[in-house]
Amino acid sequence: MNEAEAVTGNRANWDERADIHVRSEMYDVEGFLADPTKISERSGAGSPRRSA
């Protein structure tokens, strides 16, 4: 398998799974589409880093 075939196969794999994630309440796609800043609230983006 060459790189192009691997990339194509990987893309097809993710495309097959995308609908499952879109329909999942866990991802709240509708909420994100309504307010794209919502992802920052859940991911912790912009929060101070904790030291180890």
* 39: Cβ contacts below 8 Å, ≥ 6 apart: 32, 45
Question: What tens digit of pLDDT does each residue of 25-51 get?
Answer: 888 888 888 998 877 655 555 556 566
pTM of the full structure: 0.45
The answer to whether residue 8 sits within a structural domain is yes
Residue 50 counted as domain residue: no
Which residue bears the tokens 């859940």?
42
Residue 34 in domain: yes
- Quote the domain boundaries for residue 32: 3-43
- Which pLDDT value is given to residue 37? 83
Has residue 11 been placed in a domain? yes
* Residue-level pLDDT at 45: 55
Mean pLDDT, to the nearest integer, of 7-19?
94
- Decide if 33 is inside a domain: yes
Is 29 within the bounds of a domain?
yes
The domain tally of the chain equals 1
Percent of the chain whose pLDDT exceeds 90 = 33
